[in-house]
């Protein structure tokens, strides 16, 4: 008989993971216990930095449309970073996403 390795995905894991998709909406919808949780806060900060990077990329791509391939590749890279953060949160890992994760430590909220 084969035993499956089942992981218990808690509400904190889901809140942290969804912060990569709905940073602002999720943050204000959370109750106080989730907002004060260091794990959820860690991933919410990274999600916020990722959102700022996506907005900056969109602004730059509208100013310099002739670099469309570069913007597309950078956008793909940001998508991969968001997916990586989502997976880290579901696996309950407090691990920074590459490149942008170090910037998230500077946010105070």
Distance CA 90, CA 83 (A): 11
What is the pLDDT tens value at each position of the chain, 109 positions in all? 334 444 667 777 877 887 777 765 666 666 777 777 888 888 888 888 888 898 899 888 888 888 888 889 999 999 999 999 989 988 888 999 998 888 888 877 6
Positive or negative, the CA dihedral 62, 64, 70, 74 is negative
Query: Domain locations in the chain?
Result: 11-104
* pLDDT for res 73: 93
The helix, strand and coil proportions of the chain, stated in percent and rounded to the nearest 5, come to: 70, 0, 30
């Amino acid at each position: 008989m084969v035993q499956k390795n089942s992981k218990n995905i808690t509400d904190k894991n889901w809140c942290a993971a969804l912060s990569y998709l709905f940073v602002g909406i999720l943050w204000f919808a959370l109750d106080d216990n989730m907002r004060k949780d260091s794990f959820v806060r860690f991933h919410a900060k990274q999600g916020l930095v990722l959102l700022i990077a996506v907005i900056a990329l969109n602004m730059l791509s509208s100013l310099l449309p002739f670099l469309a391939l570069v913007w597309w590749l950078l956008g793909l890279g940001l998508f991969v970073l968001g997916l990586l953060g989502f997976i880290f949160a579901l696996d309950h890992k407090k691990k920074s996403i590459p490149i942008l994760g170090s910037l998230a430590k500077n946010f105070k909220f």
